Amino acid sequence: MNNSIILFSNVYKSYPLYHHITGGLKNFIFHLPKGIRQLKSKKYEALHDISFEIRKGETFGIIGRNGAGKSTVLGLIAGVLRPNQGTVKVMGRVSPLLELGAGFHPELSGRENIVLKGVLMGLSRAQVSEKLEEIIDFSELQDFIDQPIRVYSSGMLARLGFSVIVHLDPQILLIDEILAVGDSDFQRKCIARLDEFRNKGVTIVVVSHNMDHICRICDRVLWLENHATEMIGPGSEIVNSFQLRLE
Exactly one of 81, 141, 157, 168 binds another protein (CB under 8 A); that residue is 81
> Which stretch, 20-28, 47-55, 203-211, 213-221, contacts another protein (CB under 8 A)?
20-28
Exactly one of 61, 64, 69, 96 binds another protein (CB under 8 A); that residue is 96
By beta-carbon proximity to another protein, the closer residue of 63 and 94 is: 94
Residues 6+ apart with CB under 8 A from 62: 70, 73, 74, 205, 206, 207, 221, 222, 224
Q: Rounded to an integer, what distance in angstroms lies between the CA atom of residue 235 and that of residue 38?
A: 42
CB 5 within 8 A of CB 76: no
24 near another protein, judged by CB under 8 A: yes
Exactly one of 53, 99, 225, 230 binds another protein (CB under 8 A); that residue is 99
Q: Rounded to an integer, what distance in angstroms lies between the CA atom of residue 69 and that of residue 245?
A: 18
By beta-carbon proximity to another protein, the closer residue of 121 and 232 is: 121
Q: Rounded to an integer, what distance in angstroms lies between the CA atom of residue 20 and that of residue 27?
A: 7
Exactly one of 2, 33, 82, 247 binds another protein (CB under 8 A); that residue is 82
HSE at residue 100, side-chain half, CA atoms within 13 A, is: 12
Q: Footprint of another protein on this chain (CB under 8 A)? A: 15-16, 18, 20-22, 24-26, 28, 75, 78-82, 94, 96-99, 102-105, 107-108, 112, 115-117, 119-122, 124-125
